Structure 1
Amino acid sequence: MRITCPHCGARDVQEFNYLGAADPKRPEGMAAPEAQMFEYVYLRDNPRGDHNELWYHAAGCRAWLIVTRNTLTHSISSVRTAKSTRGAAA
């Protein structure tokens, strides 16, 4: 599989580290109920089809990327920097 980094171009997947789903939202505040924190940390969906994932370009520009990948075909439909996504949400 090849991931097209916005900074470095198309690279082999071995240059990247996979973190997991990009969609989970951390519960608000330091005093979040234990059940909410347990769900946030341990319970994840296993979706079919397009899925947003966090990847770190460890052997390249060291940017965090959000990759939209189809979990059935492994085809990648988009790659964007996590920083640009965070700025758009604010």
Structure 2
Amino acid sequence: MRITCPYCGTRDLREFSYRGAASDLERPDAEAPPEEWHAYLHLRDNPAGVTRDLWYHEMGCASWLVVTRNTVTHEILACDLARDVALKAREAKR
């Protein structure tokens, strides 16, 4: 599998580290009720199909990326900087 980093271009998977679901960027507020924190910390989906995951470009530019991919076909559908995805999510909440 090859991932296209927005800074470095297309690179081999071995340059990256998988760090979990991109939903981790949608952290609850500090004052959120315990139920929200429980869901955030412990409840995870494991879908077959399209997912959005956090990847770290460990052997490259050291960027955090959100990779949209199909877990069945291994096709990479999109690769965005995590900071841009988090910023858009914060703006959408307003």
Pairwise same-fold verdict (TM > 0.5): yes
Q: CA 1:32–1:85 in 2, change beyond 3 Å: closer, same or farther? A: closer
> Hey, what's the Cα distance between the residues in 2 that align with 1:35 and 1:88?
25
The structure whose residues are more often helix, as a share, is: 2
Q: What aligned pairs does 1:1-80 form with structure 2 within 5 A after superposition? A: 1-24=1-24, 25-28=26-29, 30-80=30-80
> Hey, what's the Cα distance between the residues in 1 that align with 2:83 and 2:27?
17
Q: Secondary structure, in 3 states, of the residue corresponding to 2:23?
A: coil
- The TM-score with structure 2 as length reference comes to 0.82
> Hey, what's the Cα distance between the residues in 2 that align with 1:45 and 1:14?
25
Post-superposition, which runs of at least 4 consecutive aligned residues in structure 1 deviate over 6 A?
none
Q: Secondary structure, in 3 states, of the residue corresponding to 2:10?
A: strand
Q: Between the two proteins, what is the percent identity of the paired residues?
A: 51
- The TM-score with structure 1 as length reference comes to 0.85
Q: Quote the RMSD (CA, aligned, Å).
A: 1.6
> Hey, what's the Cα distance between the residues in 2 that align with 1:83 and 1:58?
16
Structure 2 gaps of 5+ residues are: none
Give the total of aligned pairs.
89
Structure 1 gaps of 5+ residues are: none
